[in-house]
Amino acid sequence: MNFTRWSARLPGTQRRAAARTEQTASPDRRGEGSVPAARAEQLTDDPPSVPAVDELRVREVLDRVPSLVALVHGPDHRIAYVNDAYTTAFGVRPLGERAREALPELDALGLFPLLDQVQRSGKPRTVKSRKAPDGRCYTFTCTPVAQGDGKGGSDGRGVLVFATDVTDHAEAAERLRASERRQRETAVTLQRSLLPQELEEPDDLRVAATYHPGGTEAAVGGDWYDVITLGGGRTALVIGDVMGRGVRAAAVMGQLRTAVRAYARLDLPPHEVLQLLDGLAAEIDANQIATCAYAVHDPNEGKLVYASAGHLPILVRDENGAVLRADEPTGPPLGTGGWMHSSGSIPLGPGSTAVLYTDGLVERRDADLDEGIAALENALAGATGTPQVVCDRLVRSAGVTPDHDDDVAVLVLQHPARTGPESELFRNAALELLGGVEAAPRARAFASGVLTSWRFPADLHDLGVLATSELVANSLQHGTPPMRLRLRRTDRRLIIEVTDGDDHLPRRRRAEPGDESGRGIAIVATIASNWGCRRTPGGGKAVWCEFALPRTQAT
């Protein structure tokens, strides 16, 4: 193959060639006494001049470049030329041979389909950072060239393969990716370690949760969830999302989750918990913003009381399959300050399922957020089964994959409708405490009859009656009407609760030998498995205690 008949289609190539032809053909018009230029150069002491690029043949230029260059022609890509750098990298290649046999390195790199495409389309193509058999990484540019016939026409097509060694860049990029992977793994490990390893199991709810970190190209965020048993049959449920990415977001999430658990133990209304959390978020990092929804379930009320700090609405599917959205009230995100949060409620009766989630489940770059929430509502309407089944189904319906570009946290809770033998393990009984001091003996008799009908053993029966007596006596002495006694049994515990209209919370104290009062709460705290008190919405308080049932009794 005559290499000089090939020319790359580079701007100005033909123009420079024509100019050189004119200069060669023009005779020297100087006078007879003048010295030819070549002769004059020989008479000086100056070194020979370096030829300009335009004066070099194409082959000389390509032989000098450090990049790998090969020229193939014809439909079967026969080798027309390889430069010195190519030969150094892969060895001598025979001219005129088919490239598929003579250039196995291009075959290993999968470049032959690209050569065909370039030859057909007449347009250059580039593939970046391909690792060759010699262990180096190259970026290949394939450019169409034409075989000239010397008269401006062409009688064939070829492809000029130009490979630039980018090994150093590829290794630097790989080191950067490895560093990012390590940082992400650290953040994911931190994130997972700060999430609950096992969810608490409330008596009256079934719960399941899942967390999916963003894909390998996305830094982990600060999504979290939690389930907190408050005592007295009540359960707090939390979902939150710290804005930002990486270890910092995960660390802030851990601090907020710990704070929520501490505030939840105070058994405050949801909006008061968020109010405390808002101040703490500003102290942790004034530039860090987080959203959070905090809800409390009381099985005696049949609803979910919640407050939201800029978080997405809770969804509830009732026993008939209708989905409700808890839109209001919603305040600004945590850390913004200057806002008084408030609580709302949404029904959560037997047979209902509620879903708390972060924006990664419903937010997409190419769709409106409301569309994502509406799609989640439709998926929830048809979701049945256990909370874990519902959780998995919602994640699948949202198209969450390992390559998802955002973190996803989902918390699903169900208030099961119990029938048959299971319903016998969940009972309620209540008595209005009327008539002053004479309400005490009525309360003891009522408790004794209820506990007998529930077939509790004698020792648990007697402890339950004693605790009832002390709590009622304390309310009669220090509380105000209306007063109410409520007994509840679950499959795990007996709960006794007394409510009244006074919001002063009792505390356990040491009674001196001569004191005539102050021993009631101490007695309850001694004989019960757990006890506590809280203020009730609208004023007043509730004081409760609970007894763990023996395994045989619970089952």
Confidence check: pLDDT of 7 > 60:
no
Helices (H) and strands (E) in the chain, counts: 16, 22
Average pLDDT in the 112-138 region? 89
Confidence check: pLDDT of 137 > 70:
yes
pLDDT of residue 510: 67
* Distance, CA of 225 to CA of 256 (rounded, Å): 11
pLDDT of residue 511: 58
**SS3 of 132, please?**
coil
Query: Which of 5-14, 77-86, 186-195, 402-411: highest mean pLDDT?
Result: 77-86
Confidence check: pLDDT of 516 > 70:
no
pLDDT of residue 520: 86
> DSSP strand E in 391-520: where?
408-415, 427-432, 484-489, 493-500
pLDDT digits (tens, 9 = 90+) for 328-380: 778 899 988 778 899 999 999 999 999 999 999 998 878 889 999 999 999 99
pLDDT digits (tens, 9 = 90+) for 378-433: 999 999 899 999 999 999 999 888 777 788 999 999 999 888 887 888 999 999 99
Least Cα distance to 6 among 76, 71, 62, 74 occurs for 71
Confidence check: pLDDT of 63 > 90:
no
Lowest mean pLDDT among 92-96, 204-208, 488-492: 92-96
Query: Is the pTM higher than 0.75?
Result: no
pLDDT of residue 151: 44
Confidence check: pLDDT of 459 > 50:
yes
Phi, psi of 126, rounded to the nearest 5 degrees: -130, 140
- The residue among 302 and 555 whose pLDDT is bigger is 302
The residues, any chain, with a CB within 8 Å of residue 514's CB and separated by 6 or more, are: none
pLDDT digits (tens, 9 = 90+) for 301-330: 889 999 999 999 999 999 999 999 998 778
CB atoms within 10 A of CB 325: 15
pLDDT of residue 252: 86
pLDDT of residue 131: 87
- The residue among 163 and 63 whose pLDDT is bigger is 163
Average pLDDT in the 460-473 region? 96
Phi, psi of 212, rounded to the nearest 5 degrees: -120, 115
Residue 1 pLDDT level (bands cut at 50, 70, 90): very low
The pLDDT > 90 percentage for the chain reads: 48
The residues, any chain, with a CB within 8 Å of residue 262's CB and separated by 6 or more, are: none
| 213-239 as b/e: b if 16+ CB within 10 A | bbeeebbbbbbbbbbbbbbbbbbbbbb
Confidence check: pLDDT of 57 > 90:
no
Phi, psi of 83, rounded to the nearest 5 degrees: -85, 180
- The residue among 172 and 429 whose pLDDT is bigger is 429
pLDDT of residue 20: 42
Tokens 């609950």 belong to residue: 196
Listing DSSP states for 263-319 in one string gives: HHTTT--HHHHHHHHHHHHHHH-TT--EEEEEEEEETTTTEEEEEEESPPPEEEE-T
- The residue among 295 and 154 whose pLDDT is bigger is 295
pLDDT digits (tens, 9 = 90+) for 16-56: 444 444 444 444 444 444 434 333 344 455 555 655 655 66
* Amino acid, res. 386: T
Phi, psi of 363, rounded to the nearest 5 degrees: -95, 130
* Amino acid, res. 419: T
Average pLDDT in the chain = 83
pLDDT of residue 247: 74
Average pLDDT in the 248-254 region? 82
The residues, any chain, with a CB within 8 Å of residue 242's CB and separated by 6 or more, are: 221, 222, 223, 224, 249, 250, 252, 253, 256, 288, 289, 290
pLDDT of residue 41: 43
pLDDT of residue 22: 47
pLDDT digits (tens, 9 = 90+) for 480-506: 999 999 999 999 999 999 999 999 998
